[in-house]
Chains A and B, each alone.
Chain A
Amino acid sequence: NAGVTQTPKFQVLKTGQSMTLQCAQDMNHEYMSWYRQDPGMGLRLIHYSVGAGITDQGEVPNGYNVSRSTTEDFPLRLLSAAPSQTSVYFCASSYLYTGELFFGEGSRLTVL
């Protein structure tokens, strides 16, 4: 099993550009989520999904969109990138209500 796969690993954007961070998992997990990690602020939840067709907002959802058309995939879309979105983004998944999250290796995004 590959686990949780994130692409790209690195991306540089200009302010106003849009892009999609991809996340795929092959563990048949119902729950998937996106976090951002910033120095001194730990991980903050952006959006999450408890199954295909179901998404909900986390702590810091503004500027991001998600969709969940399949169990395996949970892409994160930046609509109009801003320098404040410079961060490391992590996708994580788990079986529903079990608690243990499996993380991808992260996507480092820089917005100029």
Chain B
Amino acid sequence: SQQGEEDPQALSIQEGENATMNCSYKTSINNLQWYRQNSGRGLVHLILIRSNEREKHSGRLRVTLDTSKKSSSLLITASRAADTASYFCATDPQETSGSRLTFGEGTQLTVNP
């Protein structure tokens, strides 16, 4: 079963706007990760946030984690057309410690020029 669930399923914005994607999960985790997938390509790791962290930044990306609500959000600031892709959250359950990363269904982001 899919542990992570992204919201929204699809998001369309204009270049320069911010994009926010949310992820909810069910069990206790070691960490939560976000990946990006361009059409027809493999997934690329964006950022990892550990269960004892609340916020993390990487360039134009900001990730938050609320373990009490079992949710995370990915914010992309000042979006560009090149950010158009699918974004997936992935959870690393505590009981399997890195060996069974579980992915959500993804958010399809379209950034219009």
Residues of chain A touching chain B, judged by Cβ–Cβ distance below 8 Å, are 4, 31, 33, 35, 40-45, 48, 50, 56, 58-59, 90, 92, 94, 96-106
The interface on chain B, measured as residues whose beta carbon lies within 8 A of the other chain's beta carbons, has a size of 27
Residues of B within 8 A of A (CB): 1-2, 4, 30-31, 33, 35, 40-45, 48, 88, 90, 92, 97-106
Are A97 and B103 closer than 8 Å at their CB atoms?
no
Can you identify 7 A-B contacts, CB atoms within 8 angstroms?
A41-B2, A45-B101, A97-B97, A99-B48, A100-B48, A101-B43, A101-B90
Given the complex of chains A and B, what is the CA–CA distance between A4 and B44 in angstroms? 12
Is B98 in contact with A103, judged by CB distance below 8 angstroms? Answer: no
What residues of chain A lie closer than 8 Å to B90, measured between beta carbons?
Answer: 101
Distance (Å) between the CB of A40 and the closest chain B CB? Answer: 6
| Smallest CB separation, A9 vs chain B (Å) | 10
Cross-chain contact A97 with B98 (CB below 8 angstroms): yes
